[in-house]
Amino acid sequence: MARFVDVRTMVAWTADRGPEEIMAGMIDYLEEDFRRWESFDKTPRVASHTPFGVIELMPTSTDEEYGFKYVNGHPSNPARGYQTVTAFGVLADVHNGYPTFLSEMTVLTALRTAATSAMFAKHLARPDSKVLALIGAGTQSEFQALAFGRALGISSFRVWDTDAAAMEKFARNMAPHGVEIVVTGSAAECVEGADIITTCTADKTNATILTADLVRPGVHINAIGGDCPGKTELDAKILELGEVFVEYTPQTRIEGEIQQVAPDFPVTEFWEVLLGRQAGRTSPEQVTIFDSVGFAVEDFSALRYVRDAVAGTEFGEEIDLVAAPEDPKDLYSLVAAVAPAHL
């Protein structure tokens, strides 16, 4: 039997535990997995492209556990009332190959993306950071704000989006959380006085939603939205202002902000910072940039965390995904046992 967490259960569990609490717990799992980065089998994602969008399988594994995520990306979906991105994922036991855990990952990916951003910022932003500017008030925005509130103690959020309704939605959803929300009228106004700038817009183009002149010394930039070929958010000049940190260089070169610069543009993989092999932030004036694209190991950490957190609770159900005949050579007996008269 494998355990299954469906959307309703993921939502109920998130509401019950609180998204901030979950993302804090997830950061512990993420750090554990980033610390053992070299032990992961980092297979490239497998993409099936169609005129409408892309469907991808993202597998990874250690010597003990295997995981993959199914995820689609269909930019025209919202206009038709669908989610741009939906996902589900599976964990399996490497020892016998049996799947052990199946979960929805649309909500879970939102949690893991924000938790990953907060983990990077915890190690790279100035420790005295208090004000976060959020450019883009879509699906990720509340999760990002709650993760940074919890992990870094950010208490003031400035927001900008070309869609006023999205900013209203963000302010409404954040209202119960007792933090300051400032709705602004432009990207320039949004980043005023910000210690951390998060860019999370959805347009699938090489956009410039943040220009270099808006980036003050000491800022940490959390660039979420540039996450596939042809989709970037930052003025390329920003990448010259400080140190760029990435998850997995080969993937970020293709999908991240650094697709705008030379293939040998220097970057630092974050797991090396965690292990003390590379420097993180070196001064309060330094600009640090997380060029986020999302990697399979993060989904693996998120799945592990949920699996462990819901074990023994009412959240999730057992499903019957693996046939278990008494004699492994006698699969047919399962069928014969049910209806011998009919056969």
Site for its own copies in 186-245 (CB under 8 A): none
Q: What is the DSSP string of 284-342?
A: TT-EEEEE----HHHHHHHHHHHHHHHTTSSSSEEE--S---SSTT-THHHHHHH-TTT
DSSP secondary structure code for residue 127 in this structure: T
Shortest reach from residue 108's CB to its own copies, in Å: 10
Q: Which residues of 79-99 are buried (b: 16+ CB within 10 A; e: fewer)?
A: eeeeebbbbbbbbbeeeeeeb
Closer CB to its own copies, 25 or 138, in the complex: 138
Q: Is 264 a catalytic residue?
A: no
Question: Residue 69: in which H helix or E strand, if any?
Answer: strand 65-73
Q: Does the footprint of its own copies cover residue 321 (CB under 8 A)?
A: yes
- Token code pair at residue 287: 């600009």
Considering CB under 8 A, how many residues would be counted as binding its own copies?
86
Which pairs with CB-CB distance under 8 Å and at least 24 residues apart come from 98-101? 98/2, 98/322, 99/2, 99/321, 99/322, 100/2, 100/3, 100/307, 101/2, 101/3, 101/4, 101/5, 101/303, 101/306, 101/307
Q: Does the footprint of its own copies cover residue 80 (CB under 8 A)?
A: yes
* DSSP helix, strand, coil percent of the chain (3-state; round to 5): 40, 25, 35
Shortest reach from residue 60's CB to its own copies, in Å: 8
Site for its own copies in 243-262 (CB under 8 A): none
* Amino acid identity, position 330: D
Rounded Cα gap, residues 8 and 14, in angstroms: 10
Site for its own copies in 84-143 (CB under 8 A): 84, 86, 88, 90, 92, 94-99, 104, 106-107, 110, 137-139, 141-143
Closer CB to its own copies, 160 or 270, in the complex: 160
Site for its own copies in 150-189 (CB under 8 A): 163, 166, 169, 173, 176-177
Shortest reach from residue 51's CB to its own copies, in Å: 8
Closer CB to its own copies, 1 or 279, in the complex: 1
Closer CB to its own copies, 188 or 336, in the complex: 336
Closer CB to its own copies, 311 or 322, in the complex: 322
3-class DSSP state of 203: coil
Rounded Cα gap, residues 246 and 243, in angstroms: 10
- Tokens 């006698």 label which residue? 330
Q: Does the footprint of its own copies cover residue 77 (CB under 8 A)?
A: yes
How far, CA to CA in Å, does 9 sit from each of 23, 90, 248, 319?
Answer: 17, 16, 31, 14
Shortest reach from residue 100's CB to its own copies, in Å: 11
Q: Does the footprint of its own copies cover residue 342 (CB under 8 A)?
A: yes
Closer CB to its own copies, 47 or 188, in the complex: 47
Site for its own copies in 27-56 (CB under 8 A): 41, 43, 46, 48, 50-55
Closer CB to its own copies, 96 or 283, in the complex: 96
Shortest reach from residue 115's CB to its own copies, in Å: 15
Site for its own copies in 275-304 (CB under 8 A): none
Which of 227, 235, 291, 299 is labelled catalytic? 227
Contact window for its own copies (CB under 8 A) among 119-127, 256-264, 281-289, 331-339: 331-339
Contact, 269 vs 246, CB < 8 A? yes
- Token code pair at residue 132: 């976060």
Site for its own copies in 3-22 (CB under 8 A): 4, 6-8, 11-12, 14-16, 18-19
- Residues marked active site are found at 227
